Chain A
Amino acid sequence: EIVLTQSPGTLSLSPGERATLSCRASQSVTSNHLVWYQQKPGQAPRLLIYGVSSRATGIPDRFSGSGSGTDFTLTISRLEPEDFAVYYCQQYGSSRYTFGQGTKLEIK
């Protein structure tokens, strides 16, 4: 099973700053099936990015995804107050879906 490790665990930034979140896989991710979700307290996760770099419907273009193989990045170009949340990466491989442990993006 592929293990996803996200870093940092917590990221403290101010609105307007750029956020860079990392997701590292223990093996190469199949066919670029790497996904990012955002979760706010008391809410279900929300799809942000699929296929490494494709934005989901309605996701602002300040969110972007990149990477390949085992190293992937979610970038938020200019943080808005509503972006402070927990972010999870997810992959699919060998009929299994696994999530990273999450990165909490908090207001500095």
Chain B
Amino acid sequence: QVQLVQSGAEVKKPGASVKVSCKASGYTFTTYYIHWVRQAPGQGLEWMGMVSPSDGNTNYAQNFRGRVTMTRDTSTNTVYMDLSSLISEDTAVYYCARELPATCYFDHWGQGTLVTVSS
């Protein structure tokens, strides 16, 4: 069955960086885009960007350009999201989710990774 398994919770200080992983299984890794969506405590969903596992192409939301990097490792079927210059407002649950190209919806999601930014 399709699974997206994310790395564990992180606590970071302001100004630091965090790298969250998302390991895919149960399907052909290069067939689906992987997106990152975050959710601040008690808030809604915010799209951050996506990476194409087949060629590494990325598309980042304007709010995160310059601060986020999304990469993939086809040898381990894993996607990474690196967010730098963290501030307290980056405290959120970060989800990875997959999209079959051009369908424009996310049919499977990871379990989420809580990133807490606190001094």
Show the binding face of A for B, using Cβ within 8 Å: 33, 35, 37, 44-47, 50-51, 56, 88, 90-92, 95-102
Contacts and interface: CB of A to CB of B under 8 A. Distances in A.
Interface of B: 35, 37, 44-47, 59, 61, 95, 97, 103-112
B109 A98 contact: no
Contact of B45 (A50, A51, A88, A91): A88
Chain A residues touching B, majority SS: strand
Given A92-B104, A101-B44, 18 more contacts: A35-B105, A44-B97, A44-B110, A44-B111, A45-B45, A45-B106, A47-B106, A50-B104, A88-B45, A95-B59, A96-B47, A97-B35, A97-B47, A97-B104, A99-B44, A100-B44, A102-B44, A102-B45
Given A44-B110, A44-B112, A99 B104 contact: no
Contact of A45 (B59, B61, B103, B109): B109
A90 B109 contact: no
A43 B61 CA distance: 24
Contacts, number: 54
B107 A56 contact: yes
Given A33-B104, A50-B103, A97-B35, A88 B44 contact: yes
